[in-house]
Structure 1
Amino acid sequence: MRKVSVICFLIPSLIIITLMACTSGTQEAVEQTNPVELNSGVTSETRVNYSDLSGITNTGQSQQSGIWVTGKGKVTLEPDLALLDMVVEASSKSVEKARYNTATSMNKIVTSLKALGIQDKDIQTRSFNISPQYVWEEVVENGRRHSKQILTGYQVTHSVQIKIRELDEDLVGIVIDQAVTHGGDNIRINNIQFTI
């Protein structure tokens, strides 16, 4: 009987203590939202009532406190560098002849660019490719018609990027003219880009 009365006394006591512990934190949080005025010292019109802002920052439990700033900027600059992507390609029945024609055209172009003041470090090979060239022909074998792949030659492609650093003297147009003059029918200008 005595155990029952002790248990009946302990259970309500624990419940009351638990409830008091849960509500004491809330009371403190409410008491901390007292208005605080900030004064910048410039004029009386610059005073801010901090309690007006507290409702914004205390809306959620997981929300972080602090000052968050976002912005957007724009800067305009004139380009001082041109990147010219150029390809020299030649085709022939033999790999040797196609490679020779490509190399000859590229050497003439590079020599003319160096005469304009373009340095070796500003002429970079991007790719070099040798590929066979085929055509499909219809043939008759054993009384049946079908298509057959026939090798016609080879194509050699040499791609370079040229950096032109002096844009004030219309050097870009002169470089393109020299490349076309010395590359002839073997040259293609793929892209030109102006950057910083």
Structure 2
Amino acid sequence: MIRTLPLAALIALAAAPHAFAQTATVTQPIPADGTVLDINAEGSSTRVPDLALIQAGVVTTAASAGEAMQQNAARMAAVLAALRKAGIAERDLQTSAVNLAPQYRYQENKPPVITGYQASNQLSVRFRDVARSGTILDALVAQGANNISGPNLTLADEQGALDEARRDAIAKARARATLYAQAAGLKVDRILMISETGSTPIVQPMPMLMRAKGMMAEADTAIIPGEQKLTASVSVRFLLK
């Protein structure tokens, strides 16, 4: 007797081969007429950071919350005007935090008493001309910025530098494979597989943001970019014959 399957079952059977094809892992067979060599190699590239990320903000205190916020807004407006005058584009300015908090006086065996309010406005600034960032920071301090941290130095084209490190890693892997092949009396025939095992910038110690005016008269803030190293690691399988 021939039994007819339900429509849902027929659909499931029809879709099953496609689903299996998507999830199945194909293992490439190792050629029988050659020798397989696996190489792990790390490549690197070095760049001078060309982007400085700095937090610049204003902190104000006053007797009332409204007064603290008004004073803060006025000083932050001056800071923003100085940044725009220095040529910082709008896309490189971003408010990162605005806070208002009461200030307390604590006494033993007594409840805390509010003595005033503190307002803060923090701005994330990207300097695309690292050499000028110290001078601009000095101008910000003159306009009322009193909460500055950073810089975090990075690269505008980090992917381009990582790609150079990847090419360096492949070149090193091929050179090492050639060395092993020659030592074994063989030649590198071709690459069977390449996989990237990691790529990352190596974070260098943060350069010192020196407020030298506090230590030496008529000196400017100096930001030293140094160099940033980026690495890429690859695993390459070669066929030797």
Q: Name the TM tier (shorter chain).
A: 0.5 to 0.7
**2: CA distance, partners of 1:130 / 1:136:** 19
Superposed displacement of residue 121, structure 1? 1.4
**2: CA distance, partners of 1:191 / 1:101:** 25
Matching residue within 137, 141, 147 for 1:180: 141
Name the aligned partner's letter for residue 191 of structure 1: G
In the alignment, what sits opposite 1:47?
none
**2: CA distance, partners of 1:68 / 1:95:** 66
Count of matched residue pairs: 124
Matching residue within 59, 75, 98 for 1:89: 59
Superposed displacement of residue 192, structure 1? 0.9
SS of structure 2 residue aligned to 1:137: coil
**2: CA distance, partners of 1:68 / 1:126:** 47
- Greater RCO structure (CA 8 Å; 6+ sep): 2
Matching residue within 127, 131, 141 for 1:164: 127
Name the aligned partner's letter for residue 135 of structure 2: I
Tell whether 2:106 aligns with 1:106: no
In the alignment, what sits opposite 1:192?
151
Task: Give the alignment of 1:61-140 within 5 angstroms.
Answer: 67-138=37-108
Gap regions ≥5 residues in structure 1: 1-34, 39-49, 51-65, 139-145
Superposed displacement of residue 175, structure 1? 1.2
**2: CA distance, partners of 1:121 / 1:135:** 41
**2: CA distance, partners of 1:117 / 1:68:** 52
Structure 1 outlier segments of 4+, above 4 Å = none
In the alignment, what sits opposite 2:228?
none
Percent identity of equivalent pairs: 27
Superposed displacement of residue 190, structure 1? 1.6
Superposed displacement of residue 67, structure 1? 4.5
Gap regions ≥5 residues in structure 2: 1-31, 156-241
In the alignment, what sits opposite 1:142?
none
**2: CA distance, partners of 1:68 / 1:147:** 73
SS of structure 2 residue aligned to 1:194: strand
Name the aligned partner's letter for residue 189 of structure 1: I
**2: CA distance, partners of 1:111 / 1:191:** 21
Q: CA RMSD in A?
A: 1.9
Could you report, residue by residue, the CA deviation over 1:23-51 in whole angstroms, capped at 9, with x for unpaired residues? Answer: xxxxxxxxxxxx96x6xxxxxxxxxxx6x
**1: CA distance, partners of 2:56 / 2:83:** 13
Superposed displacement of residue 106, structure 1? 0.8
The structure with more radius of gyration: 1
